[in-house]
Amino acid sequence: MAVGFFSVISGSVAIGRGSETMLGVVAAQYPGFLDSGLLQPVLIGIGVVAIVGGVCALLKKAWGMALAGAILAVLCVVPLGILAILWVYQSRKEFAGQVNTFLNYGTLGRFS
């Protein structure tokens, strides 16, 4: 149940950080930092992918997306992201037929 929870929380934190820096809250406190304007949309995008991956993990659908969201959650909040990766990887068999074939058949695929 709580497999995707950490990804969703990490993604929400990333969206919050990206939004507040776009609004200038953090940029006013730290002049010169994040002034380029490139980091904020990237941070929001990472947060969105982490949240979508967390929702996929909660619904036990699309294991690859759940794992991608957990990996990007590490970039948002490191401890929660690490827990998300571990829990998504350990629960990969609970995803109904969504597990990558490389995990099921080895590195060469079905015809090895």
Residue 88 lies in a domain: yes
Residue 15 lies in a domain: yes
Q: Are 4 and 62 in contact (CB under 8 A)?
A: no
Residue 13 lies in a domain: yes
Q: Cα(86)–Cα(64) distance, rounded to whole angstroms?
A: 14
Residue 26 lies in a domain: yes
Q: Which domain holds residue 13?
A: 5-105
**Confidence bin at 80 (pLDDT 50/70/90):** confident
**How many of the other CB atoms lie within 10 Å of CB of 33?**
11
69-to-20, 78, 93 alpha-carbon distances in Å:
22, 13, 17
Residue 112 lies in a domain: no
**How many of the other CB atoms lie within 10 Å of CB of 19?**
14
Structure tokens at 99: 């597990």
Residue 111 lies in a domain: no
For residues 70-95, give the mean pLDDT: 87
Total domain count for the chain? 1
Residue 82 lies in a domain: yes
Residue 110 lies in a domain: no
* pTM score: 0.73
